[in-house]
Chain A
């Protein structure tokens, strides 16, 4: 593992740049705190005690390693490559997000900050942050777009049960983008006492690096498990990309393995041509949003556009800078799946495997289901199944009622 990770380029650079992407485009008030955060993180990363405590929590509390599961019925249904699922949905709190919040929660504690704030889209990161805050005895406030509060009410309730305060954000598009704005405003105001526990591989340096590092365990386990189970590397690793945290965690350890094709799947919403989607890499342009240079959805005047996706976690007009870098470098490929395709994949996985994926993860499943039939039976696809779908049953059920699903309904045996 060690030798392979060494082959990956050492990015970001000192100022947090991944080539022309990344950086720290923030108000001056946040510059010194970001530099302090980076120093604290680098010291923690070198500290065996910190790493040991994190490892113990990942095993005993979060439930790692998560299984790498061969999806036999899904594979037979698609009639091509063998499909494996990396089961992050089996993590404590139901998604990969716990990896990052345990790491950053320990860091907040180490830095002596007793108050943590977070943004959340689907609510998974908010629930994970509330969980880590309860575990570590920290005060927790979570910003969540008003629209997301409505469509993810189960997660709002979970956060409150865990002792967190959920603050609905009614500005702008009332989704993840606006929740991040509001969390950044809170942090600008309370930076001396507060730790901002950012939940995706985006934002100003050091967040993209730090969040990636805390999630790379996903890809490292996958690599080991597939080697032990099948004696080989995958041909494809596929994960959904909103901000891109679960994807970068799965992809990162495979960057140096040239034979492995790495595919991120963005939210095509109503279709890439509709203007109602969340596919910043597939259909956006380079700009600055939330503290870093990356691909964003914007108009000609540089105003950030409103994204759309049926999954709140992909409903975001930007993406982490490392994804932009590897897209331009040609190492990562990006595809997309529409709302209807994600719903169909949700149904298929539920009925064929007894697994309800989060609607976010269903985008990756949808693409893998398109890809598998085009490949031989000896090929291997690993899907990053980033979260479980319990939180989405209301959305799925109301979409079923409206008939949105029928045109894309898979034919099942």
Chain B
């Protein structure tokens, strides 16, 4: 059983849900991302998603696009994100998942990446532009290395694709809440609960909801439908706004604690 699977099994036993904060690695610097990850773990994060910056993030809205550009301008690469993961490995016990596009992984080499990630203490990888049809080579190497390849389900996925993705996804299933790119939304789509029920009907694997979720109230609304809730752009926006403040790390920690509150021991 992978560490991701154990984490979700433990949460289910306690009747709790996972809070999964996302950070674009290297925004504003790799050292601050390291501090943010440690702070997130202290604030109640159950796992952490580290975004590998990519020059052409076509699934991302403006907030994560800007963060990616800042990180790239600071010289961040996939190799340096793996170094960051290695650096926090001893200091935290929660799992780390990378979120990336396929080209940096392809350029790194699939075997080198999967082994390097596991060796750095990374538990899983989400590849935003790699549907199961194209994922064969990476899935094989990830499996051999012991890295969970996590697939996404979208509101546009018909039932036969939902079944395919549920079968292929390992660690958990990333449930995309809305039809669109990443970024905070004032309201979430009304058909979300129904889509979520359809997914529940075909799988017992953990399901985590992401895209558009930015407030503790929205996290609370998601809790009954998911094993975990992913918050990305809202955190990245806070990092952007407080990048030069010496209060950056504690403020992000407080926000993460507020997001986690509604997820502790739900019925």
By a beta-carbon cutoff of 8 Å, the part of chain A in contact with chain B is 15, 23-33, 171-172, 177, 181, 184-185, 188-189, 191-192, 286-291, 296, 298, 300-304
Query: Which listed residue (B107, B161, B179) contacts A192, Cβ 8 A?
Result: B179
Contact in complex: A177, B56 (CB < 8 Å): yes
- B39-57 interface with A by 8 A CB criterion: 54-57
- Residues of B near A24 (CB, < 8 A) are 131, 133-134
Contact in complex: A31, B157 (CB < 8 Å): yes
Contact in complex: A302, B131 (CB < 8 Å): no
- B101-145 interface with A by 8 A CB criterion: 101-108, 128-131, 133-134
Q: How far is the CA of A303 from the CA of B58 in the complex (A)?
A: 13
Contact in complex: A191, B152 (CB < 8 Å): no
Smallest CB-CB separation from B180: which chain A residue? Answer: A189
Query: Which listed residue (B61, B69, B152) contacts A28, Cβ 8 A?
Result: B152
- Asked if B267 is at the interface (CB within 8 A of a chain A CB), the reply is no
B26-48 Cβ-contact flags toward A at 8 Å (1 or 0) = 00000000000000000000000
Contact in complex: A304, B103 (CB < 8 Å): yes
Contact in complex: B78, A29 (CB < 8 Å): no
With A31-B161, A172-B55 as known contacts, state yes or no: A288 contacts B131, CB within 8 Å. Answer: no
Contact in complex: A298, B134 (CB < 8 Å): no
Query: Which listed residue (A184, A191, A296) contacts B58, Cβ 8 A?
Result: A184
- Asked if B181 is at the interface (CB within 8 A of a chain A CB), the reply is yes
Contact in complex: A288, B153 (CB < 8 Å): no
Which among A28, A290, A303 has the highest number of chain B CB atoms within 10 Å?
A: A28
- Asked if B89 is at the interface (CB within 8 A of a chain A CB), the reply is no
Contact in complex: B56, A191 (CB < 8 Å): no
Smallest CB-CB separation from A296: which chain B residue? Answer: B103
With A28-B152, A32-B161, A185-B181 as known contacts, state yes or no: A302 contacts B59, CB within 8 Å. Answer: no
Q: How far is the CA of A171 from the CA of B176 in the complex (A)?
A: 25
Contact in complex: B56, A26 (CB < 8 Å): no
Smallest CB-CB separation from B155: which chain A residue? Answer: A29
- Shortest CB–CB separation between residue A36 and chain B, in angstroms? 9
Contact in complex: A27, B179 (CB < 8 Å): no
A-B contact pairs, 20 of them (CB 8 A): A23-B133, A25-B130, A28-B151, A31-B131, A31-B133, A31-B157, A171-B65, A172-B69, A177-B56, A185-B181, A287-B103, A288-B102, A288-B103, A296-B103, A300-B107, A301-B77, A302-B78, A303-B55, A303-B103, A303-B104
Contact in complex: A302, B152 (CB < 8 Å): no
Query: Which listed residue (A188, A286, A287) contacts B59, Cβ 8 A?
Result: A188
With A24-B131, A291-B129, A303-B55 as known contacts, state yes or no: A188 contacts B102, CB within 8 Å. Answer: no
- Shortest CB–CB separation between residue A30 and chain B, in angstroms? 8
Contact in complex: B179, A189 (CB < 8 Å): yes
- Shortest CB–CB separation between residue A204 and chain B, in angstroms? 9
- Shortest CB–CB separation between residue A285 and chain B, in angstroms? 8
- Shortest CB–CB separation between residue A224 and chain B, in angstroms? 38
- Chain A: interface secondary structure? mixed
- Residues of A near B151 (CB, < 8 A) are 28
Q: How far is the CA of A30 from the CA of B133 in the complex (A)?
A: 13
- Residues of B near A298 (CB, < 8 A) are 103, 107
Contact in complex: B165, A191 (CB < 8 Å): no
Q: How far is the CA of A23 from the CA of B131 in the complex (A)?
A: 10
Which among B55, B101, B157 has the highest number of chain A CB atoms within 10 Å?
A: B55
Contact in complex: B103, A28 (CB < 8 Å): no
Q: How far is the CA of A189 from the CA of B154 in the complex (A)?
A: 12
- Residues of A near B57 (CB, < 8 A) are 181
B146-161 Cβ-contact flags toward A at 8 Å (1 or 0) = 0000011111111001
B70-106 Cβ-contact flags toward A at 8 Å (1 or 0) = 0010000111000000000000000000000111111
B172-185 Cβ-contact flags toward A at 8 Å (1 or 0) = 00001001110000
Which among A31, A33, A291 has the highest number of chain B CB atoms within 10 Å?
A: A31
Contact in complex: B131, A301 (CB < 8 Å): no
Contact in complex: A287, B55 (CB < 8 Å): no
- Residues of B near A188 (CB, < 8 A) are 58-59, 179-181
Query: Which listed residue (B55, B56, B77, B154) contacts A29, Cβ 8 A?
Result: B154
- Shortest CB–CB separation between residue B240 and chain A, in angstroms? 16
With A29-B156, A33-B156 as known contacts, state yes or no: A304 contacts B179, CB within 8 Å. Answer: no
Q: How far is the CA of A296 from the CA of B133 in the complex (A)?
A: 22
Contact in complex: A191, B106 (CB < 8 Å): no
- Residues of A near B78 (CB, < 8 A) are 301-302
- Residues of A near B158 (CB, < 8 A) are 32
- Residues of B near A26 (CB, < 8 A) are 129, 131
Contact in complex: A302, B104 (CB < 8 Å): yes
Task: Please provide the 10 A-B residue pairs with the shortest distance between their CB atoms, ordered closest to farther.
Answer: A302-B107, A302-B104, A301-B77, A29-B154, A189-B180, A28-B154, A303-B55, A302-B103, A27-B59, A304-B55
Which among A29, A30, A296 has the highest number of chain B CB atoms within 10 Å?
A: A29
- Residues of A near B165 (CB, < 8 A) are 28
